[in-house]
Structure 1
Amino acid sequence: MKNWLIILISVSFLLFACKRESQNAGEIGAHVHLNNDVSVFKVPVKIAVAEKGNIQKKITIYGKLLPKQETKLSSQFAGRILNLTLAEGDRVIKGETIAVIQSPQAEALQRVTAEDSLHNNGQNSELVPYPIRAPFSGIVTEKYHYSGDVISAGETILKIQDDAVYYLWGRLPAVYLPDVKVGQQLKITFSDLKGKTFYSKIETVSSTVDNQTQTAQVRATLHNQQHLLKSDLFAKIDIVLQSLKNVLLVPRSAVLENSDGYFLFVKKNGKAHRKKIKPGIEKANTLEVKSGLNVGDSIIVLGNYELKEGMKVEVMH
């Protein structure tokens, strides 16, 4: 009798456990079913409005300033330098006599009588002091000798540079050669001239590509009215390849890409709708849209990666 009682209690316990497990499974199934109903869930997103604006396509290269004119001044005669008072950085004017060269013969004449001096005057061009004149206006960049020094024929005395106009030489990657043309605008900045911006246009584009660097040279001219520029300054050069006005623009984060091309999602009536687009110029975080979108469309810029057509969305504030 005792054994039968134990068996009865055990069977009752098992039946109760099975029933409870069945109820729990039903509850879990109902819960999963509710969560799978996507029509209830709203994806949080951020939006922006498609608007028209201006955009430029540009590239950045680097270059260096070099003088348009620079020369070393020397004498065709040997002799002693006289009247050379210029220092490095001093300014000279075209045609200005910056020094004279006195030949050894002329120095010897100073030791003879005045009559002999008159007798020999004009007999030899080397006896007449030879003037050194500036061929153009500019500044003295290097000084090799001083007044009183004796030099040989052809020996350099000074180097002068025209600082009114400089050439800007830049290195252009060969891949951009088809896009770069004479006349395109340049925006130029120098690390040594903080806060200063200069503008110019491309004057020449070399068709010769350096085999080692795979670059070609481009040249522009910069005028130095304020005397801020100097030779060998390194420059950052922005080349405007294309400039568009009044075109449709969207944030770059709104645009997605797959094997079918580019697309984005717009919010309409609380739902996400996918639109295939044709992109244009891209600049920083902005992209031109050539087709597939309308001005004023509410485009989804955040939360768009997991979206599917028709999903309900809710704008985050």
Structure 2
Amino acid sequence: MKRILVLLAIVATLGLTAWTLLSNKEKVEAKVYRPDTNLKVGVRTAKAELRNLSQESEFLGSFAPNREVEIRPQAGGQIIQLPVEEGQYVRAGQLIAKIDDDQLRYQVEAQQVTMEGHQNDLKRYENLVKGDATPAVNLERTQLNIRATQAQIKQLQKQIANATITAPFAGIVTEKMVEKGSVVSVGSPIAKVTDISTLKLVVDVPEKSINQFRVGQTITISTEVYPDARFTGHVSLIAAEGDAAHNYPVEITVRNSDKNMLRAGMYGSIENTNKLKGQTLAIPRQAIVGSAKEPQVYVVENGKAVLKRVGIGVTTNDYYEITKGLQAGDQVVTSGQINLQNGTPVVAQ
């Protein structure tokens, strides 16, 4: 009898537990949100339509001089002339500096005296050799001495020429490193000359945009310092190798202006419009959902959002070209896709 009572108590306890769990499950299910299949979701839409796609890209760079050189002498000594100042314009061949060359000229004079002596000896030996009064070797030795002296004179004259330092091209003296009276050695910098008659705008172009440029292409350049002026340049170089960030330097050559003088180091920007295609079916970029490999869009049909797979072609900053899956006039959802499933009723706001 006692066992029966214990068994009945256990059964009663299990039954009570089961009833409690079932009751809790019904309460939880009652609290679970179930979307109303008849409730319409508000979305924004746009039409798939034919567009003349183009892409505008702006790139910022800085101007570099056409040519720039540090002038370094090929002769050493004291500077006795330095007729230039920083900021001064110099012509090609204009005197930049003159190094004291008096000692070299004295040596040339001494060698010229030696040359006269050798030439006099040559005349005497020529006459003596004709009469067999002296060996021919004396004549040959004198001829060699003349050639050696001539070579020494040429060497000294070259050193004298190197003492006169001129501008290799026309430009502006942007830096002067020495003053008159300074003693310089061979190869030490004296001044820097910069040619800005033509400038090079160097911009870093990302890999995805590098095909928009070609050598010889005409580019319009704008600057912050002259906001109302436009400069015309031509692409002169497209780098064959990019940096670690996959940017490629593009060099655009522009002729400087007397009215709006550009200077090296200034910023310049270009707006390159690249016409990708003519009339082509396109939709806003915001309409695309899914991945780039499997792009999809929601199309509004009979008041419902229908998920469709599409093919995309070229892109711009605002639009995707659609190569398959849509027709002109299709209404695509551009905002509110997060609340949609295939077949969700929608209303355009």
Q: TM above 0.5, one fold?
A: yes
Quick one: which of 240, 252, 272 aligns to 2:285? 252
Q: 1:221 aligns with which of 229, 242, 253?
A: 253
Compared with structure 1, are the counterparts of its residues 197 and 304 closer, same or farther at alpha carbon in structure 2 (3 Å cutoff)?
Answer: farther
Aligned to 2:78: 79
Q: Deviations over 1:104-147 (max 9, x none)?
A: 44999xxxxxxxxxxxxxxx857899543222121112111123
The alpha-carbon deviation at position 160 of structure 1 amounts to 0.4
Matched position secondary structure for 1:46 = strand
Match of 2:87, SS state, is: coil
How far apart, in 2, do the equivalents of 1:287 and 1:259 lie?
11
Change (3 A) 1:185 1:44: farther
Gaps of 5+ in 1: 1-24, 109-123
Q: 2:89 aligns with which of 88, 91, 95?
A: 91
Distance change in 2, residues 1:260/1:99 (3 Å): closer
Could you tell me whether the CA contact under 8 Å between 1:57 and 1:281 is conserved in 2?
A: no
What residue is the counterpart of 1:314 in the other structure? 347
Shift in CA distance, 194/281, structure 1 to aligned 2, threshold 3 Å: farther
**Is structure 2 residue 156 aligned with structure 1 residue 157?**
no
Could you tell me which residue of structure 2 aligns to residue 274 of structure 1?
307
**CA drift at 1:91:** 2.0
Partner residue in 1 for 2:120: none
Structure 2: unaligned runs, 5 residues or longer: 1-25, 107-155
Matched residue SS, 2:286: helix
More strand by share: 1
The corresponding residue for 1:289 is 322
The aligned amino acid for 2:175 is E
Does the CA-based 8 Å contact 2:210-2:248 persist in structure 1?
Answer: no
Per the alignment, do residues 81 and 107 of structure 1 end up closer, same or farther by CA in structure 2, a change over 3 Å counting?
A: farther
2: CA distance between counterparts of 1:301 and 1:312? 15
Q: CA deviation at 1:257?
A: 1.4
Query: For residue 19 of structure 1, what is the aligned residue in structure 2?
Result: none
Name the CA distance, whole Å, in 2 between partners of 1:282 and 1:161: 43
Q: What whole-Å deviation, never above 9, does each CA across 1:138-175 have from its counterpart, x for those lacking one?
A: 111211112343434443321101112334555667x6
Distance 2:184 2:292 in 1: 76
Could you tell me which amino acid in structure 1 is paired with residue 92 of structure 2?
Answer: K
Q: For structure 1, which segment, 199-208 or 154-163, has the greater mean C-alpha deviation from structure 2 after superposition?
A: 199-208
Separation in structure 1 between the aligned mates of residue 304 and residue 233 of structure 2, nearest angstrom: 50
Cα displacement (A) at 1:278: 0.9
Question: 1:214–1:265: structure 2 CA closer, same or farther, 3 Å change rule?
Answer: closer
Report the residue type matching 2:316 in the other structure.
K
Number of residue-to-residue matches in the alignment: 265
CA contact (8 A) 2:55 2:317 kept: no
Aligned-residue identity in percent: 27
Aligned-residue offset at 1:45? 1.2
* Distance change (3 Å), C-alpha of 1:209 and 1:258: closer
Distance 1:308 1:76, change over 3 A: closer
Q: CA RMSD in A?
A: 4.6
Higher share in helix: 2
In the alignment, the residues of structure 1 paired with residue 162 and residue 210 of structure 2 have an alpha-carbon distance, to the nearest angstrom, of 57
Alpha-carbon distance between aligned partners in 2 of 1:194 and 1:280, rounded to the nearest angstrom: 39
TM-score when normalising by structure 1: 0.62
Partners of 1:142 and 1:259 lie apart in 2 by: 54
SS of the residue corresponding to residue 68 of structure 1 reads strand
Bigger CA radius of gyration = 2
Question: Aligned partner of 2:42: which letter?
Answer: P
Q: 1:301 to 1:172 in 2, by over 3 A?
A: closer
Checking the alignment, whether the CA contact within 8 Å between 2:41 and 2:339 is kept in structure 1 is: no
